[in-house]
Structure 1
């Protein structure tokens, strides 16, 4: 039997659905990305959107504005992307920013640059920002966009050994 969506968080061994981030907003408000997670019980059927049926965690996007729910996923990033596809169409075509600085004047400059190159009002609605990440750091991070939305990780590829040698060699020519 499929799990019902709920804003209830349960602790302990009782299965439940937890809103991981951010809160879903007011019904009838503008659409935004919220991700729910829960523990799948042994024997629960896994829909085709669950790539790893043996993995016990499940994720799904939920829009508190209109009630839209995304499909069950075994990966948090996939659920976040479903929610952003619903609430912020076109986000995948927006510019990729440099890695987000942690604090101070560098963060202020980064946020100002993001607001200048993204559509007007995008971040005021909680829209995501696309930002580069180092390899192994591709998680979509809630609350890291200028308006509090998700920072969508775009992983930089590591240079191949051949290109690294070429770059190093050119330094000494």
Structure 2
């Protein structure tokens, strides 16, 4: 393992410990930048830190939460066969991404799919999985919800999966 890899692993451990103690990621990032004499000296961006921490947290995804979510999705699918959900797991069978769309939103998408905005800026859950929503605009200029997702990483592969469905 290279010295740079060891440093990144150590920083990740410190970041995770601080987050477990209740310190926000942005505060940790600013403190690291202060220690390294500026943001330009950090070996990663804040977004990179979010992604790495998100991956680590998603590995800890509580099976009970996961089962409850999928039980709810199954109930929704049973109530309306047009309810759609999709998930992706990693090689260790840990949840990475979940996408769901209710029947009403699927119909709305057929009518209002000219412009779709995908916004993954909401990191408000315990597992640090960004909540993403797909929104469009109807013929009255109103914003309408077209779908939702929890994504483990904001990368090209994840966005391709989300946009495909």
With the length of structure 1 as denominator, give the TM-score of the two structures. Answer: 0.30
With the length of structure 2 as denominator, give the TM-score of the two structures. Answer: 0.31
